[in-house]
Amino acid sequence: MLKLCLRKLGQLAIVMVLISFFSFAIIDLAPGDISSMYLTEDMSEEEKQIVIEKLGLDRSMPEQYFSWASEAIRGNFGVSLSYKTPVAPMLMKRLPSTILLMGCSLLLSLALSIPLGLIAGYKKNTWVDNLISGFAYFGMSIPSFYFGMLMIILFTAKLHILPSSGMHTVGVNTPLDTIQHMIMPVLTMALSTMASKTRYVRANTIGQLSEEYVLAAKAKGTPPRKILSKHILKNTLLPIITILGMNMASLVCGSFIIESVFGWPGVGSFAMEAIGKRDYPIIMAYVMLSGFILVVGNFVADILYSFADPRIKRGIDAVHGK
C-alpha cells in the first residue's frame, strides 16, 4: 500500500506539471490578452511599452511560464492582472460557497441515484424501470443551463416562491434563506449528475441480480428490500466510487454554467470572469486547483476501492509479493 501511495504521488507531480504547462500554453495561444483593458489609442509607443512591461507581456511564453511556476511551487499563485490582488485569497474566499453548492448537489444526487438505480434494476423492464430510466435520459439530455432557466421561470416568474439568483437575501443571514436560494441550483446540478449515476447503479444491479449469492439469499427467504440493501448495494458502489473520485474536482471548482445562471458567487463564476478578461494568474490557479483535486480524487478513489472490495486489496498485495 505504501509503495502504491508513493507511486501515485510521483504520478501526481508529473501530471500537475503537464497540466500547468499545457494550460499556460493554451491561454497564451488564445486570441487577446489583458492589455486590452489598459492600452488606448492616445498612448505613445513608450507608454504602451511601459504598460506591456508592467503586465509582464513583453516576455516570451516559456519565460512567463517559468516565472509563474517558480512562484507557484512556493504556494504563490501571483497577483490578479485586473484586480492587482493576490490570487490565492481571492479563490479561498469563494471556495466555501462553491463547496456548499456542489456538496449539496453531490449528496442529493447520491441520495437519489442509488435507491432509484437499485429499484430500476430490480424492477427491470417494468413500468417502474421505464419511468426511472426515462427520467434519467431526460436528465442526461437536457442542457443544465436550459433546465436552470426553466426552473427560474417556473419558481420565480410564475409561482414567486423562490428567488431568482444569488446566495442570500440582503440583510437576512439565516440558514433557511440560504437553503431557499440553493434549491434551484442544487436541483439543477443534481439532476444532471444523478441521471448518469442512476444508470450506472441500474446496470450493476442487473448484473448482480444474476449472481448466485442473490439466488441463495432468495432461497433463504430474504426479503427483496434486504437483498438490495444488504447484499447488492455494496457491489454496485464500485463505479460510484470512481465517479465520486472524478467529481471531487467539481466539488471545489464549481460549475461555470450553474453559477453564472443563478448568480452564485463561487469559484466557477469567478474563473469564468477571469477567462473573459484573460487574467491568466487566476485562470492558472483555477486550473491547478481543479487538476490537483481531480488527481487526488482519483487517488482517493483507488484507495477506497481496496477497502470497498477486498479482492482488489488482495490483488494489489499479490502484485507486491505479499
Partner 1 sequence: MKKKILALMLAAAMAMSMVACGSGDQGTAQKPAEETKTEQTTETKKEESTEKKEETPAAPAEEKDTFTVAISYMPDQLSPASGGSDDYTSMTRPLFDRLYMENNDGGIDYYMAESLDISEDGKTYTLKIRDDVKWSDGTPVTTKDIQFAIDFAILRYGRSSVTSINGNPVEIQVVDDKTMTFTLPEPYAYYIVSLSSLVPYPYHVFDGDAQKMLDDVTYYTKPGFATTGPYVVSEINEDSVVYTARDDYYRGTPSVKKVVMKVIGSGSTKAIAFENGEIDYMRLTTVDELEKYEAQSDKYNIYSFSEARLNYLQVNPYGPANLNDEQREALFYAINGDEVIDGAYGSDKLATNPNSILTPDISLYDPETPDYVYDLEKAKELAKSSGLEGMTLTYIYNADRPNMEAVAVVLQQQLSQIGVTLQIEGMDSSSFFPRFFAASSYGMNGQEKTWDLGTNGWDSMRGRTLNQAYSYLNQTNNAWGLTPTCGELAYKVNTCTDPEQAKAKASEVVKIALDQHRIYPLTYTNYIIVSQKNVTGLDKHPIVPEFADYLDISVNG
Enter the C-alpha cell of residue 12.
501526481
Quick one: 156 exposed, middle or buried, by C-beta within 10 A (0-12, 13-18, 19+)? middle
Residue from 3, 7, 54, 226 touching partner 1 (CB under 8 A): that is 54
In whole angstroms, the minimum distance from the beta carbon of 297 to partner 1 comes to 25
116 vs 294, which CB is nearer to partner 1?
Answer: 116
Among 113, 269, 290, 298, which residue interacts with partner 1 (rule: CB under 8 A)? 269
Which of 78, 121, 163, 245 binds partner 1 (CB under 8 A)? It is 163
Whole-number minimum distance, CB 236 to partner 1, in Å?
17
Selected binder of partner 1 within 4, 15, 51, 142 (CB under 8 A): 51
Least separation, in Å, of the C-beta of 50 and partner 1? 3
3-class SS at 86?
Answer: strand
Q: 152: which 3 cell numbers? A: 427560474
Q: Judged by CB under 8 A, does residue 212 bind partner 1?
A: no
Neighbours of 50 (CB within 10 A): 13
User: What string marks each residue from 57 to 96 as x (binds partner 1 by CB under 8 A) or -?
Assistant: -----------------------x-xxxxx--xx--xx--
Asked whether position 322 contacts partner 1 by CB under 8 A, the answer is no
Return the closest-CA partner of residue 86 out of 302, 295, 269, 279: 279
Rounded CA-CA distance 168/181 in Å is 7
> What's the Rg (C-alpha) of the chain?
24
The reply to whether 29 sits near partner 1 by the rule CB under 8 A is no
Element containing residue 147 per DSSP (H, E): helix 144-152
Contact between 131 and partner 1 per CB under 8 A: no
What 3-state DSSP class applies to 79? strand
Indicate which single residue of 8, 48, 124, 313 sits in contact with partner 1 (rule: CB under 8 A): 48
